[in-house]
């Protein structure tokens, strides 16, 4: 039996994976537990959702990435809870894992501000599955519009509403305009994709509210130049299958995308620690759970604050720094050295809006346009894990820049897709006064295998 202390890391996101890497060579045994077998580069997830990249371009199997780290093992499993007194991690399948040090870094999920019923109509963007679902909805909307003779229904299919003017919403809205105005412009016969309407709704007074006011205004102007209908101070009061309600106004849209809010992974509640309004753990200055110095929380799950009392932002660089800090503190503890408080080094923020368009702040310099866009490209290539991923993304971006092409435009076969086609056929038959036959889904389709999944509802996913 190995006498070395065991460090169990829950989650293989930025915080978890960089913590594990920083423990390479340390006198500990490291175990990563995650319900997924890959590390996902979330900042580029919107590129998968808008058909710019394939999932494999921004994800790497966790085992392949850490295979040379001899003091590390990877377990595929879903964590159900903890016993902090006995230092146990409980898995959903009934298994248990003991630890000497625990690092919980399970990230965040979507927040619909008390309206979970909106989730089925407005998918968020946190996982590869989310990105593929959004991609499918976008592409199917154009396909159904091509067959739709009714002008009002066709306009609803060609109207895309993005809720939330943060980085995710801004990036989605900008990418949607490029798809409609350039990528699909000459590929349809009955419709003109360039007539697609993209609406960005933000409840705050300005888009990118966490950015400096001049950068927010620059982002708004760049979006407007692309043709995005940007609405600030717009509070969404309802979402359904036919559109969005903003106050007393209704926007007819068959494709609504959610980028408005995030909440901590529900697993935070299992730690029994104080939580903030977003469900994040209120950690000590050294990122440990109050009363449990052997339990660390990092990444989006941690409600960490800077020395001036302002919150540490939920961005990838912060998660990476937290993961490394936790690893160093664990090693310090093994040496009998005192732990140190976490100090976040703000290297800047960047948000892309479209080809040659972006805004950002790097070392207090405010960047706009092409300069910000080039900085965004370099930063994201640098942080991508794996040579193959970097090489493929560079090729994809070079091709996209020169041609406006998006090569990952596959519509995956899903139950909801067949429901839409069947409903469309039934409506056409009803209007024509004939008995609706409706297309039968093929035997191998998800609709045939699991009709109960046709609603499109998915329960919240937790690590």
Active site residues: 171
What CA–CA distances, in Å, run from 146 to 55, 71, 150, 153, 179? 27, 56, 11, 11, 16
Separation CA 277–CA 264 (nearest Å): 10
Separation CA 81–CA 463 (nearest Å): 10
DSSP 305: B
Q: Which of 55, 257, 261, 262 is nearest to 175 (CA)?
A: 257
Q: How far is CA 93 from its chain centroid?
A: 27
SS3 labels along 173-217? HHHHHHHHHHHCCCCCCCCCHHHCEEEEEECCCCCCCCCCHHHHH
User: For residue 311, what is the enclosing H or E element?
Assistant: none
CB 461 within 8 A of CB 109: yes
Q: Which two tokens stand for residue 449?
A: 């295998």
Classified as helix, coil or strand, 97 is: strand
Tell me what percent of the chain is helix, strand and coil, each rounded to the nearest 5. 40, 25, 40
CB 104 within 8 A of CB 10: yes
Q: Which two tokens stand for residue 10?
A: 């829950």
* Residue whose pair of structure tokens reads 């493929």 in the numeric block: 392
Separation CA 353–CA 359 (nearest Å): 8
* Residue whose pair of structure tokens reads 């346009």 in the numeric block: 369
CB 50 within 8 A of CB 138: yes
What CA–CA distances, in Å, run from 292 to 143, 272, 453? 55, 11, 42
- b vs e for 331-370, b when ≥16 Cβ sit within 10 Å of the residue's Cβ? bebeeeeebeebebebebbbbbbbbebbbbbbeeeebbee
């Amino acid at each position: 039996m190995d006498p070395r202390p065991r460090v169990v890391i829950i989650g293989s996101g930025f915080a978890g994976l960089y913590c594990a890497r920083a423990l390479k060579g340390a006198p500990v045994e490291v175990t990563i537990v995650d319900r997924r077998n890959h590390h996902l580069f979330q900042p580029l997830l919107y590129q998968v959702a808008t058909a710019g990249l394939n999932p494999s371009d921004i994800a790497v199997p966790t085992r392949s990435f850490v295979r040379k780290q001899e003091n590390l093992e990877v377990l595929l499993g879903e964590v159900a809870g903890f016993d902090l007194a006995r230092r146990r991690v409980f898995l959903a399948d009934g298994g248990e894992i003991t630890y000497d040090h625990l690092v919980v870094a399970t990230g965040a999920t979507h927040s619909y501000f008390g309206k979970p019923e909106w989730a089925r109509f407005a998918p968020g963007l946190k996982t590869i599955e989310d990105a593929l679902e959004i991609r499918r909805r976008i592409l199917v909307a154009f396909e159904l519009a091509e067959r739709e003779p009714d002008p009002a229904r066709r306009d609803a299919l060609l109207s895309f509403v993005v809720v939330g003017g943060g980085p995710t919403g801004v990036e989605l809205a900008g990418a949607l305009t490029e798809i409609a105005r350039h990528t699909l412009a000459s590929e349809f016969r009955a419709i003109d994709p360039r007539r697609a309407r993209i609406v960005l709704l933000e409840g705050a007074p300005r888009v990118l509210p966490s950015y400096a006011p001049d950068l927010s205004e620059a982002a708004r102007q760049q979006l407007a130049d692309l043709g995005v209908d940007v609405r600030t101070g717009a509070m969404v009061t309802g979402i359904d299958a036919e559109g969005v309600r903003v106050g007393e106004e209704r926007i007819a849209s068959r494709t609504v995308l959610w980028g408005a809010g995030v909440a901590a992974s529900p697993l935070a509640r299992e730690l029994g620690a104080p939580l903030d309004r977003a469900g994040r753990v209120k950690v000590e200055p050294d990122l440990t759970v109050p009363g449990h110095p052997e339990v660390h929380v990092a990444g989006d799950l941690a409600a960490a604050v800077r020395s001036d009392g302002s919150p540490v932002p939920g961005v990838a660089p912060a998660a990476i720094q937290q993961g490394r800090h936790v690893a160093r503190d664990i090693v310090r503890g093994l040496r009998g050295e005192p732990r140190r408080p976490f100090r976040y080094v703000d290297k800047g923020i960047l948000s892309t809006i479209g080809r040659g368009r972006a805004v950002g702040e790097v070392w207090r310099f405010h960047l706009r346009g092409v300069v910000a866009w080039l900085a965004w490209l370099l930063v994201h290539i640098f942080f991508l894990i794996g040579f193959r991923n970097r090489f493929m993304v560079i090729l994809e971006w070079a091709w996209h820049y020169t041609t406006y092409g998006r090569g990952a435009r596959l519509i995956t076969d899903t139950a909801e897709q067949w429901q839409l086609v069947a409903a469309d056929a039934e409506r056409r038959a009803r209007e024509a006064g004939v008995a609706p036959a409706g297309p039968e889904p093929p035997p191998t389709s998800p609709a045939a295998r699991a009709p109960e999944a046709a609603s499109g509802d998915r329960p919240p996913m937790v690590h």
